[in-house]
Structure 1
Amino acid sequence: MSFGIIYYTFVLLFAGLTYASFEGRLPKIHRLQHLTVFGFSLISEWPLPVIGLKIALIIFASMLGVFKGIVPQIFYIIDLLTMIGLVVIFVDAYEARRAIEQAIQLYSGSKELPTFKSETFWQRMVNPRFIPQDVVYYSNISYATHEEANSANKVAFEQVNFMSLDVYARKQPSDVKPVLLFIHGGEWIRGDKGAPYPLIRHMAESGWVVVSTNYRLAPTSKYPNQLIDVKRALRWIKTHIAAFGGDPQFIAVAGDDAGGQIAAAMAFTQNDPKYQPNFEKTDTSVKACVLINAITDLLDENKFWDMNIGEDFCQNVAGLKVKDESFLKEHSPLHLIKKDSVPFLVFHGDRDTFVPFKASGHFVEEFKKVSKSEIQFIPIPGGHHVYHLFSSPRSHYQAIGVEEWLNHIRHDMMADNDKSAE
């Protein structure tokens, strides 16, 4: 009887999450939204492991005689329908392959991404535990100076621990490699550089040197300290990354969610002394920026958000008493676009109900109106807010797309430099 209750609970839980993964609505209670978003993404990115778990539970329940009676049979039917829905979700995830292939075909040499028939697809892309074997990482390297660490300690002792980064690289790099700086998300108040983003490991395996950085979190540390910290991490990269095989002359930045806002703000405010206290003369320029489900508009004049993002940011992240529209404009990537901005690549899951999908499309449209630089927008079919956190077809296809685009940007820049030198 006790296992029957466990089985019924799992049936209802996964049936609800599977349905919600299609529907995508968030609960109105803010504290439940983060758990719900994670649940959406878990189901949509790992449908096959969930199906495997359900089959095991069905077999075990059958052996224990759980399915005797009408009510258990109803639950069994619900379970079968849920598994059909999970298969549909899996096929839907495969559509990301087509989206990425179409997006990169102009500069990738018609590269064909792994298909169902490929060993790579089954060994890597649907393997929730896949980790490249020829990548090493160096963890918890401090990027703060002695004075910066002391200043952080005065606010709260643990804050200095956030001023650190990890470096990922190939075990035996053959030559100097370009660098990708990745900034984690988490609404500026949570998250960690050690989150298992497949993008980080893929780029390192592909030959890039990847730096994943932490930054001090709100509300203990008020914004724009997060932006300043990441610029400090970039300062460290410019000075030290050559020791890890990285090329300080080509650094791209990427981020998701709030990390995307920081990455974009960093790209738009490079060498701005306002955000470089006591290192004003340090070069904080980057060559390109990649955004994933990023927050690009804090002012939200188009009312894409279901919440008052501006008021929340001002009060809970920046520590301001009231909503300050000029401050929001100053830190919204949408309002920082310049004619000579660096190239941008923008991803957004079309089922993201946490950060509005439409906001990214609007950012791309405005970028094209203002800047002469390249920008590419790749909607990810079926992607929820944290799809890219899981080792799944969507995240691996996206990682390939990032690699191809950044290599394309780097190739074009090198070609332009060669022409200028002639």
Structure 2
Amino acid sequence: MPITASIPALFLLVSVASAMFTLNALWPARRFWPLVGAGFFASWLTGELATHHLFWQAAATGLFVWAGGLDEWPSMAALVIFSLSWMGLLRILVQSRQANEVMETALREGLGADYERLIPERFRDGLTERWTLRQRLFPLPIFDGRVERIKNIVFSKAGGVDLRLDVCRPKGLAQNELRPTVLFVHGGGWTIGSKDDQGKPLANRLAAHGWVVVSANYRLSPRFTFPDHIIDVKSAIRWIREHGEEYGANPDFVVITGGSAGGHLAALAALTPNDPTFQPGFEHVDTSVQGCVPFYGVYDFTDRKAIFKNTLLIPILEKAVVKKRLSEARSVFEHASPMSHVRADAPPFFVIHGEKDSLVPVGEGRLFVELLREKSTSPVLYAELPGAQHAFEVFPSERTGHVLAGVERFVGAVYGQWCAGREREVETRAAAG
């Protein structure tokens, strides 16, 4: 068969494969677990790189048309399929831009229409910053020249492991100058992941705009068993309390954040300040935090509402993480669940979840927010992002830019409120003295 005769068939095959990626990004598999894992990666890469998919599909179409023309029906069918795929990708791009409105609505509803006045003046300059053209074209975390990164500081030794963290801070930070602190906890199903491969867009943005961001590792399953993970996160908070000033981190103001398993650990740490079962050997240390921003987290190890009924969450927890059966050790699973620790004095929360999350159903975020709002006296913000998949903010995508801008506004407002509270305390003591 001549090569030119096979071009229309190849054109059709490529168009169908491309359309399947687009279709999966719009409606990812969530029920049949063997398809969920592969479907997640395909949906994630398509959804956050939709512009790139649009360009390469258009380029491929042009190449095929140039090589084989449109005389045969497979080529005509391929052109129709590609056109439908482009329409789907354009819809994904529209959903990505909607993240800006979703975040802004959450901020105004949770903090008030004039919330920006709460943000200290020095932290307002970068609020409108957007990704550069280079970042859009090459969507990998690029080190920001305005940021100084101090890597692999040992903050704890546990179970024969040297636990390490990185500090990202504004370049040129004056000695003895303290900046508000954000602690980032990576995800990975409590079994994989590292500070080295997650949280870079967040750390770069906040550190470039005046914050100190600490990214910490923790012990992973199956080698280690819960609660080792949360103990290590609390150890990172302890390190900030005891050594943060040496690196410009204000030890008195810490907001904790993380995604997926990191979202679970961040929320659990925020809701269990000074819980001795989660900080053995350093019970005297204040492990409270001043705010929490969990991304697409797991908040209930017991799955009380059967939100994870079609997933492998409980089997993974039983076999690799907790290493006990839920039916035989329910209290252990309960104690590991942020939902079991919602409290009136919880710090401000901003819960963020993608509408199309394949791995942690969006119902998990909704239920957690509902329970928090019933008890907490602090603001509880919630942003449900149209079209967003799990781990969406790994890439500096259009959606990621809008979401991180909203997160920066939130932590800035929380910091401003905290500063105002400290000033009132000083004035009260001065008046009483």
For the criterion TM > 0.5, the same-fold answer is: yes
Q: Give the letter aligned to residue 289 of structure 1.
A: C
Q: Is 1:341 matched up with 2:346?
A: yes
Alignment of 1:220-239 (within 5 A): 220-239=223-242
The separation in 1 between residues aligned to 2:156 and 2:81, in whole angstroms, is: 55
Contact kept? 2:326, 2:333, Cα under 8 Å:
no
Residue 283 of structure 1 deviates from its aligned partner by 2.4
Q: Map Cα deviations across residues 274-303 of structure 1 (whole Å, 9 max, x no partner).
A: 222222222222111111111111212212
* Residue pair 1:241, 1:247 contacting (<8 A) in 2 also: yes
The correspondence for 1:179, drawn from 181, 206, 229, is 181
Report the alpha carbon displacement of residue 218 of structure 1 after superposing the two structures with TM.
0.9
**Residue matched to 2:166:** 166
Kindly indicate whether residue 420 of structure 2 is the aligned counterpart of residue 382 of structure 1. Answer: no
Gaps of 5+ in 2: 428-433
Report the equivalent of 1:56: 59
Q: For 1:341-360, what aligned pairs fall within 5 Å after superposition?
A: 341-360=346-365
Residue 277 of structure 1 aligns with which residue?
A: 280
Deviation for aligned residue 1:14: 2.2
Structure 2 counterpart of 1:156: none
Deviations 1:62-121 (A, max 9, x none): 34337552213312321222112111211121111111222224312599999xxx9946
Say how many residue pairs are matched.
Answer: 407
1:26 equivalent to 2:34? Answer: no
Quote the Cα distance in structure 1 between the aligned partners of 2:73 and 2:23: 23
Q: Give the conservation status (yes or no) of the 8 Å contact 1:299–1:309.
A: no
**Is contact 1:125–1:393 with CA below 8 Å preserved after alignment?**
no
* 3-state SS, counterpart of residue 220 of structure 2: coil
Matches within 5 A, 1:6-21: 8-21=12-25
| Aligned mate of 1:194, from 193, 196, 199 | 196
Please point out which of 254, 261, 271 is paired with 1:251: 254
CA distance in 2, matches of 1:82, 1:14: 7
In 2 relative to 1, CA 59–307 (structure 1 residues): closer, same or farther, beyond 3 Å? closer
In structure 2, do the counterparts of structure 1 residues 6 and 206 end up closer, same or farther at CA, with 3 Å as the change threshold? farther
Partner Cα distance (2:399, 2:134) in 1? 12
Structure 1, unpaired ranges of 5+? 154-159
How do 1:12-411 and structure 2 match up within 5 A?
12-26=16-30, 28-30=32-34, 32-65=35-68, 69-105=72-108, 106=113, 107-109=115-117, 120=130, 123=133, 126-127=136-137, 128-129=139-140, 131=142, 132-145=144-157, 148=158, 152-153=159-160, 160=161, 163-173=163-173, 175-197=177-199, 198-305=201-308, 306-307=310-311, 309-321=313-325, 323=327, 324-411=329-416
3-state SS, counterpart of residue 264 of structure 1:
helix
In the alignment, is the contact (CA less than 8 A) between 1:113 and 1:397 conserved in 2? no
User: Once the 2 structures are TM-superposed, how far is the Cα of residue 256 of structure 1 from its aligned partner?
Assistant: 1.0
For the 8 Å contact 1:199–1:396, the answer to whether it is kept is: no
Q: Matches of 2:87 and 2:71 in 1, distance apart?
A: 23
- CA, structure 1 residues 71+383, in 2 after alignment: closer, same or farther (shift >3 Å)? same
Q: Given that residues 26 and 88 in structure 2 are in contact (C-alpha distance below 8 angstroms), is that contact kept between their aligned partners in structure 1?
A: no
TM-score, scaled to structure 1: 0.88
CA distance in 2, matches of 1:223, 1:390: 29
C-alpha contact 1:97 1:113 (8 A) present in aligned 2: no
Aligned-partner residue type, residue 28 of structure 1:
F
Q: CA RMSD in A?
A: 2.7
CA contact (8 A) 1:37 1:386 kept: no
Please report the TM-score for the alignment, with normalisation by the length of structure 2.
Answer: 0.86
